[in-house]
């Protein structure tokens, strides 16, 4: 009781409470004004920080939470950015990244040195400017569902190179500061990096997929989430022991998870934590800004910011064009990356320890922070312009290909990954009835997406060449990947009524016009589901359940009746697998819902 009545709060509690409340309120106002949340978080940090009303007293504690946000952000990036995708982007990653970082560093160093600044400080300033914001760019791309688009590929590949290059940059800072550090240290660092990469590839191909697959069979959402977080934090800590950043370690951990069949499920489980801590990161960046300095030196800050944008536009465009990216993609990627990154703060602190100051200015640190925050705040708008440019270019390219099918643009990386389905069917679960419907959709050439959590169903689907999105559809990222927003019909035909109701609510939230089809063992359950209007039609026939389900599903795609009858006959007279005949529509009671774990039943742990 004494503990419950204690007046003092834990050290971090006050800061986090203020940060979350202020950040939420200001982000809400920004959203209502049509401004992206990132800008709201930066503004919140400026308001509650030392140069604002001073509500936060211990910035170091907030920065620790912000570090976790960056780590989780890179972890989720690694899950989406598989080893196979890294291999396909090798030229863009290696050649493009080297050119972008090298050109930016060289141009900035040359300009700074022209003003009489000592060359070591000039190079240090160039390194600071060469890095872009992984956190902001990934957030903006994810919000626009463009992470795996051609522009997203360019941006992410260059960002990963920059995040790897920061290791060498940090090692180079003591050399630039005049401290005694021999070339042997640099060679050792590269040897460590090579060893880490080899270890990640081996573990990603062998150990991690097996562990996650085994844990997923336990049917415990809590154990699965803890296992995923253990892989993330454990790998990050292991890399830190080798003097490699925890953020890079988290990205490598994500790559290991990406090789598992349950990668999408892992992404969906971690995403809420990533959103929380990455918001903390953006607020912490805003708290660094000295509003008084910005007001007194606004022309200087704006001029420096414009100079940075021009340099990064030139160097990023040149790097993308060098690896044969289309001009519009190169320009769009340059707009997305036209800011200074969060890892530049890490590099700036390392330089401060050895006496290096940005541009050699007496107030160089304040100028650096002001320019960085200003560019971060305008990054979402640059990304919006870049996406519009890319969309127009893509439309022109498609028109040219229709007129001249053999005269395409330069090859683009990984186009299949970002193409989304439209007017398709989303099938939640993969039980006996769902399998029949999927077979009917295939025969009718209707696109579909399957969402399932059942490991056995995943293996069965893989053995028959079908693709299954592994995850809980109640997670926003899984619902987005399934394409509920653009789907024509959503089906839940192997789940209990409670799970069907929740799935229907989720489908309606993403797409109010979507048609929802379900199956119920009991006519009373069917009537209850249809009464609220969440489910458009519930099939409750005992003897003709499969016929009715297939007919209703195909009917939403306006398939002619003779074709529907032919497809239904073909499906019902085809052996689909070992469990295909286990359900003929005559089951009673709870046994009829043998695949209820594929639904989002609020009364159970998510699996």
Give the phi and the psi of residue 49 in degrees, each rounded to 5: -80, -175
Q: How many CA atoms lie within 13 A of 491 on its CB side?
A: 28
Task: Name the pLDDT band for 464 (thresholds 50, 70, 90).
Answer: confident
* pLDDT at residue 391, as a whole number: 63
**Could you give the C-alpha distances from 244 to 97, 189, 202, in angstroms and in order?**
19, 9, 19
* pLDDT at residue 421, as a whole number: 77
Question: Lowest-confidence range among 31-45, 99-113, 369-383, 504-518?
Answer: 31-45
9-13, 394-398, 546-550 — which one is most confidently predicted on average? 546-550
Q: What is the CA radius of gyration of the chain?
A: 27
DSSP structural state of residue 522: S
pLDDT tens figures, 251-265: 888 888 887 877 877
**Could you give the C-alpha distances from 336 to 105, 148, 419, in angstroms and in order?**
19, 14, 20
* pLDDT at residue 12, as a whole number: 66
- C-beta separation of 221 from 269 below 8 A: yes
- C-beta separation of 364 from 357 below 8 A: yes
Task: Name the pLDDT band for 123 (thresholds 50, 70, 90).
Answer: very high
Can you identify the CATH homologous superfamily of domain 425-598? NAD(P)-binding Rossmann-like Domain (3.40.50.720)
Question: Lowest-confidence range among 129-133, 157-161, 198-202?
Answer: 198-202
Domain boundaries, the chain: 65-277+302-394, 425-598
List the one residue out of 254, 376, 236 whose CA is nearest residue 305.
376
Class (C level, CATH) for 65-277+302-394: mainly alpha
Tell whether the model's pLDDT for residue 105 goes beyond 90: yes
Task: Name the pLDDT band for 545 (thresholds 50, 70, 90).
Answer: low
- C-beta separation of 411 from 358 below 8 A: no
- Count how many residues are written for the chain: 607
Task: Name the pLDDT band for 5 (thresholds 50, 70, 90).
Answer: very low
The residues near 576 (Cβ < 8 Å, ≥ 6 apart) are: 435, 436, 439
pLDDT tens figures, 40-69: 788 888 888 777 777 776 677 667 777 787
Percent of the chain whose pLDDT exceeds 70: 77
Tell whether the model's pLDDT for residue 414 goes beyond 60: no
517-526 long-range Cβ contacts below 8 angstroms, 24+ apart: 517/489, 517/490, 517/491, 517/492, 517/493, 517/549, 517/552, 517/553, 517/556, 518/491, 518/492, 518/493, 519/433, 519/492, 519/493, 519/494, 519/545, 519/549, 521/587, 521/588, 521/589, 521/592, 521/593, 525/497
Does residue 62 or residue 298 have the better pLDDT? Answer: 298
pTM above 0.75, yes or no: no
- C-beta separation of 444 from 557 below 8 A: yes
Q: How many CB atoms lie within 10 A of CB 547?
A: 19
* pLDDT at residue 53, as a whole number: 78
Mean pLDDT for all residues in the chain: 76
Residues 433, 451: Cα–Cα separation, whole Å: 14
User: Which residue is associated with the tokens 């541009």?
Assistant: 359
- C-beta separation of 99 from 316 below 8 A: no
Task: Name the pLDDT band for 323 (thresholds 50, 70, 90).
Answer: confident
Q: In what order do the strands lie in the sheet containing 425-428?
A: 468-470, 448-452, 425-428, 489-492, 515-519, 537-539
């Amino acid at each position: 009781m004494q503990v419950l009545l204690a007046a003092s709060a834990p050290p971090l509690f006050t800061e986090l409470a203020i940060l979350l409340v202020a950040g939420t309120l200001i982000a809400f106002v920004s959203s209502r004004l049509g401004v992206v949340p990132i800008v709201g978080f930066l503004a919140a940090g400026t308001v509650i920080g030392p140069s604002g009303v001073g509500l936060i007293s211990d910035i170091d504690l907030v920065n620790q939470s912000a570090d976790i946000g960056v780590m989780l952000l890179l972890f989720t990036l690694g899950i989406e950015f598989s080893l196979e995708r890294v291999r396909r982007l090798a030229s863009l990653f290696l050649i493009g990244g080297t050119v972008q970082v090298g050109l930016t560093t060289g141009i900035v160093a040359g300009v700074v040195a022209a003003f009489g600044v000592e060359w070591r400080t000039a190079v240090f300033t160039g390194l600071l400017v060469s890095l872009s914001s992984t956190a902001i760019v990934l957030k903006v791309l994810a919000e626009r569902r463009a992470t795996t688009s051609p522009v997203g590929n360019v941006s992410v590949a260059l960002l990963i190179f920059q995040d790897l290059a920061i290791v060498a940059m940090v090692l180079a800072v003591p050399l630039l500061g005049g401290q005694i550090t021999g070339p042997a240290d640099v060679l050792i660092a590269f040897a460590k990096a090579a060893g880490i990469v080899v270890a990640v590839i081996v573990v990603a191909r062998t150990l991690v997929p097996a562990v996650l697959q085994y844990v997923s069979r336990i049917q415990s959402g809590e154990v699965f989430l803890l296992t995923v977080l253990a892989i993330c934090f454990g790998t990050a800590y292991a890399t830190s022991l080798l003097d490699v950043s925890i953020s890079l370690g988290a990205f490598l951990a994500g790559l290991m998870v990406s090789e598992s069949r349950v990668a999408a499920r892992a992404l969906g489980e971690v995403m809420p934590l990533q959103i929380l801590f990455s918001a903390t990161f953006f607020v912490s960046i805003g708290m660094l800004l000295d509003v008084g300095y910005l007001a007194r030196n606004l022309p200087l800050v704006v001029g420096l910011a414009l100079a940075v944008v021009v340099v990064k536009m030139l160097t990023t465009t040149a790097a993308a064009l060098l690896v044969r990216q289309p001009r519009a993609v190169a320009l769009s990627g340059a707009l997305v990356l036209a800011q200074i990154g969060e890892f530049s703060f890490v590099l700036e602190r390392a330089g401060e320890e050895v006496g290096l100051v940005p541009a050699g200015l007496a107030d160089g640190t304040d100028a650096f922070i002001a320019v960085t925050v200003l560019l971060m705040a305008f990054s979402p708008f640059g990304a919006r312009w870049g996406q519009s440019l890319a969309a127009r270019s893509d439309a022109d390219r498609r028109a040219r290909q229709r007129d001249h099918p053999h005269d395409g643009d330069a090859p683009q990386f990984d186009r299949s990954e970002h193409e989304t389905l439209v007017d398709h069917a989303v099938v939640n679960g993969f039980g006996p009835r769902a399998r029949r419907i999927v077979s009917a959709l295939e025969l009718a050439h209707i696109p579909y997406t399957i969402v399932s959590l059942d490991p056995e169903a995943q293996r069965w689907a893989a053995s028959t060449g079908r693709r299954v999105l592994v995850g809980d559809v109640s997670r926003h990222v899984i619902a987005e990947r399934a394409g509920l927003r653009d789907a024509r019909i959503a089906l839940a035909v192997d789940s209990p009524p409670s799970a069907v109701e929740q799935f229907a609510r989720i489908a309606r939230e993403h797409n109010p016009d979507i048609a929802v089809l379900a199956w119920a063992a009991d006519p009373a359950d069917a009537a209850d589901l249809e009464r609220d209007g969440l489910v458009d039609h519930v099939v409750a026939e005992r003897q003709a359940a499969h016929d009715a389900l297939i007919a209703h599903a195909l009917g939403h795609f306006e398939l002619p009746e003779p074709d529907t009858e032919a497809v239904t006959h073909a499906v019902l007279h085809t052996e689909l697998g070992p469990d295909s005949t286990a359900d003929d529509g005559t089951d009673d009671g709870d046994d009829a819902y043998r695949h209820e774990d594929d639904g989002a039943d609020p009364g159970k742990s998510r699996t």
